[in-house]
Amino acid sequence: MESLSSKQYKNEFVTTFPGDDTGDLKPRQTPGVLYSRADPTPVAKPTLLAWSEELAHELGIQKPENQQEVDILGGNYVAPTMQPYAACYAGHQFGNWAGQLGDGRAITLGEWEAPTGKSWELQLKGAGQTPYSRRADGRAVLRSSVREYLMSEAMHYLRVPTTRALSLVTTGDQVLRDMFYNGNPAYEPGAIVMRVAPSFLRFGNYEMLASRRETDNLRQLVDWTIDRYYPHLQGENRYMEWFKEVRDRTASLMVDWLRVGFVHGVMNTDNMSVLGLTIDYGPYSFVDDYDLNFTPNTTDLPGRRYAFGKQASVAYWNLGCFASAIAPLFNGTEELVKELEAYADIYSAKYLKMMENKLGLDQVKTADIGLITRFDETLAALKPDMTIFYQLLIDLPLDLTSDEELVDYFSESYYTAPTKAQRTTLAGLLREYIERIKQNTCTREESQRRMREHNPRFILRNYLLSQAIEELEKGENSLFLKLQEAIKAPYSSNSDAFFSKRPDWATSKAGCSMLSCSS
């Protein structure tokens, strides 16, 4: 284990690509460079609030033992071999080209080489202004930082590809924020998350270079990305093979989000990882009631572009933007378009495989596609609690025959009592499902085991996060600590104290359902 302060950091991104090394933090356009030097802005009093022991062990990082190391996590001290920077990228936001964006409140300190030889970028979120902060202050509040810290780790334990979070510190400063962009700003306690990933490269990094017609820089970045993160791709056709892998990873990620009921809330192209990771946790949420039209982002209203049920199609649209960005590297775009259009079939195949496991089927047959579709349609109409419904489905007694017994078995999951028509539809679906389960070639126990592995029993619901944040703001951390443990075993019954529907009061309470992009 090595300490944060004594580590010899790598800085390969900085030493490989052109950057603005002036250290000037004034917001501005930065053509011709891929990053700008950005030292963290000191805060009043960095205090360690949370530390991910498991991630630290994986990376070989020793828990801070003195204030200097806590100061690194809070941006008050930069180790001698760190070369902090903010990346320059662009993006399409809510379907519109936004031009230059960049790391407005994230500063990458350097690259940490783990005992395995794998390098991880260490990045502070909320460490102060950068040249890409535009009109913002580069700070983050405790509310958004707790959400990022806990959710990053929760997604990891759910087996969903994600960036990670190593630490959470409070800053001792107050930060002015308008939680809902509705003209009611208020001061909130400041905080900083150290987040970790092999790379934070996103579609927007390549879009930026293409939009500025910096083809040499674009080619260099693509070559570097492939060499570093896709080294198995060799030969003259490796650009196309790389695009196909990014496409496939993106499709897999969308399927995983649907599997656990996750809604990102702001799927702009600058929030799409080129490694297929969940990145940039803002106004996210898990769905409570199964609502394909649910969006947790107030900024996404009224169009609901990034609603739960639209995420797979948005990913396809974003991949189209990504393909356009790297198109200058190809002699023609016919094959690129063909591979982009293959997304639909690839996604569908991955989705059916996921539902095979979620429903406990031994193998999806052609006839099962209709059954899976009816599950989706029935749940969308009935809107039960998604997590609880699927947990109950695992242990559904196969000897239930009457409509009343079948429908009442799931009563724990209902937010609203089913209508007579809905009861009839659900009962018919469940009878069909039972008959299909009986046709499995595997045992019932094997079917249930697979269902338990793919259906989470604990999810980090927004109202629980809101309660934990309120407690922390009062100096209490009991719920926060319980959630920090609960996220580590989401497929077990260890945290059944949280196995319940969203309470009625949380439906309309601020922060328990929807938030703004700056959450």
Q: Which of these is catalytic: 39, 71, 103, 270?
A: 270
Mean pLDDT of 460-477: 96
pLDDT of residue 513: 72
Instruction: Look at residue 5 and tell me if it is in a domain.
Output: no
Same domain, 490 and 387: no
Continuous segment of H or E residues that includes residue 389? helix 386-394
280 burial (CB, 10 Å; 0-12 / 13-18 / 19+) is: buried
Q: CA separation (Å) from 513 to 146, 497, 510?
A: 16, 21, 7
Q: CA separation (Å) from 286 to 291, 311, 367?
A: 11, 13, 30
Same domain, 291 and 210: yes
Instruction: Quick: pLDDT tens for 336-375.
Output: 999 999 999 999 999 999 999 999 999 999 999 999 999 9
Reading phi first (left if > 0) and then psi (alpha if -120 to 50, else beta), residue 16 is in alpha
Same domain, 158 and 277: no
Same domain, 229 and 370: no
Same domain, 283 and 173: no
pLDDT of residue 517: 63
pLDDT of residue 428: 97
- How many Cβ atoms are within 10 Å of 321's Cβ, its own excluded? 21
- Taking Cα atoms as reference points, which of 323, 233, 328 lies closest to residue 272? 323
Asked whether 257 and 263 are in contact (CB, 8 A), the reply is: yes
CA 129 to CA 39: how far, in whole Å?
9
Instruction: Look at residue 142 and tell me if it is in a domain.
Output: yes
Instruction: Look at residue 417 and tell me if it is in a domain.
Output: yes
Instruction: Quick: pLDDT tens for 234-248.
Output: 999 999 999 999 999
- Taking Cα atoms as reference points, which of 136, 137, 131, 139 lies closest to residue 19? 131
pLDDT of residue 181: 65
Enclosing domain of residue 499: 462-507
Instruction: Look at residue 230 and tell me if it is in a domain.
Output: yes
Q: Answer yes or no: is pLDDT of 485 > 70.
A: yes
Same domain, 254 and 313: yes
Asked whether 138 and 126 are in contact (CB, 8 A), the reply is: yes
Confidence of residue 278 (pLDDT cuts 50, 70, 90): very high
Continuous segment of H or E residues that includes residue 403? helix 403-408
- How many Cβ atoms are within 10 Å of 113's Cβ, its own excluded? 16
Q: Final residue of a domain: which of 318, 352, 386? A: 352
Same domain, 390 and 345: no
To the nearest 10°, report the CA torsion of 328, 332, 334, 338.
Answer: -40
Q: Answer yes or no: is pLDDT of 280 > 60.
A: yes
CA 162 and chain centroid, separation:
6
Same domain, 152 and 253: no
Asked whether 352 and 364 are in contact (CB, 8 A), the reply is: yes
* Domain count along the chain: 4
Confidence of residue 180 (pLDDT cuts 50, 70, 90): low
Reading phi first (left if > 0) and then psi (alpha if -120 to 50, else beta), residue 193 is in beta
Instruction: Quick: pLDDT tens for 435-453.
Output: 999 999 999 999 999 999 9
Instruction: Quick: pLDDT tens for 108-162.
Output: 999 999 999 999 999 999 999 999 998 889 999 999 999 999 999 999 999 999 9
Same domain, 191 and 281: no
Mean pLDDT of 306-331: 98
Same domain, 86 and 53: yes
Same domain, 423 and 301: no
**Secondary structure class of 46 (helix, strand, coil):** coil
CA angle 121, 122, 127 (to 5 degrees): 135
Confidence of residue 286 (pLDDT cuts 50, 70, 90): very high
Instruction: Look at residue 1 and tell me if it is in a domain.
Output: no
288 is catalytic: no
pTM score > 0.85 for this model?
yes
Above pLDDT 90, what percent of the chain? Answer: 94
Q: Final residue of a domain: which of 147, 177, 200? A: 200
pLDDT of residue 510: 75
Instruction: Quick: pLDDT tens for 55-68.
Output: 999 999 999 999 99
pLDDT of residue 254: 98
Question: What mean pLDDT value characterizes the chain?
Answer: 96
Q: Final residue of a domain: which of 287, 321, 352? A: 352
pLDDT of residue 149: 98
Same domain, 434 and 470: no
Q: Answer yes or no: is pLDDT of 518 > 60.
A: no
Bridge partner residues of 230 (DSSP):
none
CA 139 to CA 188: how far, in whole Å?
11
CA 257 to CA 255: how far, in whole Å?
5
Instruction: Look at residue 449 and tell me if it is in a domain.
Output: no
